[in-house]
Amino acid sequence: MKLLQKPTIFRTFESVQINLVLDKKDAERVMTILNGLNTSEEYDVTIRKQSKRSLNANNYHWMLCEKIAKALKISKYEAHNKLMMDYGTDWRDANGDRYFALMKDDDKYLRATNVHYRPTDATEDRKGILYRWFVLMLPSHLMNTKEMSELIDGTVAEAKELGIETRTPDEIERMKALWATQA
């Protein structure tokens, strides 16, 4: 099996999930292997390095987040989280199912720095306290070229609406082409 990125660990109240990003050509073989694993046995796993996509994509997104935040008088994390909700990617498991979290129904999720959430319409009243279900968003550093491209396009559009100067469309397309070769 080929590990493409550093594993991410997500802890919930009931479990610990370790997410591995695998090469597409290995995905079917790995799913078959994982489905046949027996918890009473030990296994060897080989992990190989992969060339990373350019950090220019993430750096450019964060640069625009800071400018958007300044224009809106909010933190860069709040700007980033709002952009993630609008243009980001839902975090999904190997079966394509989204990850959800149940949290108090307030706006603290907008200021989160490490985990990103998108609120749903589903709420629950528990002992007089209102909770809301949130979809977990894939962190931008784990996005593939297509996902990062969609986030950048949305971020650029939002920046332009606020009168923030952005790179030219040609420069952005050149960056995207570079990301595609390094993804």
- Using one digit for the tens of pLDDT, what is the confidence trace for 53-68? 444 777 888 899 999 9
- β pairing state of 100-104 and 129-137: antiparallel
pLDDT score for 26: 60
Higher pLDDT, 69 or 115: 69
- Residue-wise pLDDT for 86-123, tens only, equals 999 999 988 889 999 999 999 998 988 888 999 999 99
Of 5-9, 25-29, 79-83, which one has max mean pLDDT?
79-83
- Residue-wise pLDDT for 8-50, tens only, equals 777 766 667 777 676 666 666 666 666 777 777 776 665 544 4
Contact 56, 175 (CB under 8 A): yes
Higher pLDDT, 126 or 46: 126
Domain ranges of the chain: 1-50, 52-182
Residues of the chain with pLDDT > 90, as a percent, come to 44
pLDDT score for 60: 87
Q: What angle do CA 80, 81, 84 make, to 5 degrees?
A: 85
d(CA 59, CA 117): 21
Question: With bands split at pLDDT 50, 70 and 90, how would you rate the model's confidence at 141?
Answer: confident
